[in-house]
C-alpha cells in the first residue's frame, strides 16, 4: 500500500489521531467496557455508538499499534490504515477520519465505522551472494574487536578509545549489556579501510534481583541476545581500529 497525495489533508496529524484511536478501539473486555466507552468519546462525533459496534462480549488485545498508510480524498476526508499485532497475527485497521481546521486549531474526528483487514504478507527476500572474504584480516581483527565490544558494552571512555580510530569518538552502552562472545567476523577483501560485519552475543541482565545458582524462572536468570553490526575499520600501523559502528544490513549467502 502506498500513501496517496494528501490533497491538503494534514497527513501526519491525521495518522497520529487514527493510531491513538486504534489503541483504544482494538483493546476491549467486558470488565473494561465503561472505561473503553469513555476513552472512545474523545475521538467520536456526537451521536455515534459509544462502543463503536462492539456488543460488550469477548476480548481483544492489540499491541504495536502504528500508523501505516493514508488515503486522502480531499482536504477534509481521509482513510488511515493502522498496523497492529493481536496474538500471532499482524493486521490493519482502516479508520475513516474527518479534519476541520478552524480558529480552534487542527481538529479530527472518526467519521465512520473502522474495518479490520489482513496485513500484507512479508516480502520475498532474494538471497545475496556472499562477498569474497579475507580470512587473514579477520584473524587480525578478532582480538581487537573482542576488546572493542567489551569496552563498548562497559562504557569506559578511555578504555573504548584504545580501539577507536584516531580522530574518531564513539558512545558506549554504559553497562546496559555485557559482552559475551564475538560469534563471527566477515571481512571482505579490500584496502586499509573496510566495512565488515560482526555477529555479537550480549549478556542480558536478569533485572533487579540477582540470579541464584539454581534459579528455574527464565526471568530470574541472565540471558543472551545475538545481534549483527556493520563496522568501518581502519588499519593504522599494524593494528585495526574501529571508525564507525551501525546496525547490520542484508543477510548474505
Continuous H helices in the chain: 11-25, 33-40, 135-154, 157-161
User: What single string gives the DSSP state of each residue in 127-165?
Assistant: --PPPPB-HHHHHHHHHHHHHHHHHHHH--HHHHHTTBP
> How far is Cα 106 from Cα 170, in angstroms, rounded to an integer?
42
CA distance 41 to 50: 7
Query: Is the pTM for the entire model greater than 0.85?
Result: no
What letter would DSSP give residue 211?
A: P
What pLDDT is recorded for position 41?
97
3-state secondary structure of 124: coil
Q: CA distances (Å), 246 to each of 57, 132, 231, in order?
A: 48, 21, 6
Q: How far is CA 38 from CA 31, 59, 61, 67, 224, in A?
A: 13, 18, 18, 23, 43
CB 231 within 8 A of CB 194: no
Q: What local confidence, expressed as pLDDT, does residue 157 receive? A: 82
Mean pLDDT per 10-residue segment, the chain (253 residues) = 61 95 97 96 95 95 97 94 96 96 79 96 86 92 96 88 93 90 94 95 72 54 87 94 90 54
82-94: b (≥16 Cβ within 10 Å) or e: bbbbbeeeebbbb
Quote the CA–CA distance of 68 and 84 in Å, as a whole number. 9
Q: What pLDDT is recorded for position 4? A: 46
pLDDT in tens, 133-172: 999 999 999 999 999 999 999 878 888 999 999 999 999 9
Q: 36: helix, coil or strand?
A: helix
Quote the pLDDT of residue 8: 83
pLDDT of 127 = 84
Amino acid at each position: 500500500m502506498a500513501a496517496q497525495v494528501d490533497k491538503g489533508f494534514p497527513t501526519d496529524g491525521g495518522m497520529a489521531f487514527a493510531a491513538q484511536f486504534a489503541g483504544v478501539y482494538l483493546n476491549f473486555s467486558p470488565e473494561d467496557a465503561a472505561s473503553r466507552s469513555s476513552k472512545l468519546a474523545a475521538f467520536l462525533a456526537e451521536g455515534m455508538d459509544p462502543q463503536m459496534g462492539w456488543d460488550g462480549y469477548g476480548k481483544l488485545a492489540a499491541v504495536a499499534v502504528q500508523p501505516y498508510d493514508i488515503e486522502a480524498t480531499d482536504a477534509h476526508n481521509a482513510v488511515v490504515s493502522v498496523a497492529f499485532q493481536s496474538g500471532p497475527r499482524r493486521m490493519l485497521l482502516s479508520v475513516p477520519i474527518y479534519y476541520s481546521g478552524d480558529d480552534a486549531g487542527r481538529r479530527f474526528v472518526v467519521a465512520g465505522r473502522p474495518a479490520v483487514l489482513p496485513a500484507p504478507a512479508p516480502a520475498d527476500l532474494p538471497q545475496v551472494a556472499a562477498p569474497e572474504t579475507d580470512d587473514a584480516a579477520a584473524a587480525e581483527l578478532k582480538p581487537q574487536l573482542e576488546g572493542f565490544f567489551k569496552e563498548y558494552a562497559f562504557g569506559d571512555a578511555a578504555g573504548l578509545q584504545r580501539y577507536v580510530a584516531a580522530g574518531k569518538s564513539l558512545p558506549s552502552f554504559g553497562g546496559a549489556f555485557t559482552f559475551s562472545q564475538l560469534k563471527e567476523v566477515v571481512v571482505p577483501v579490500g584496502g586499509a579501510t573496510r566495512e565488515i560485519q560482526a555477529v555479537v552475543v550480549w549478556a542480558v541482565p536478569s533485572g533487579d534481583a540477582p540470579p541464584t545458582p539454581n534459579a528455574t524462572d527464565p526471568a530470574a536468570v541472565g540471558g543472551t541476545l545475538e545481534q549483527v553490526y556493520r563496522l568501518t575499520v581502519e588499519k593504522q600501523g599494524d593494528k585495526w581500529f574501529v571508525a564507525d559502528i551501525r546496525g547490520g544490513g542484508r543477510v548474505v549467502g
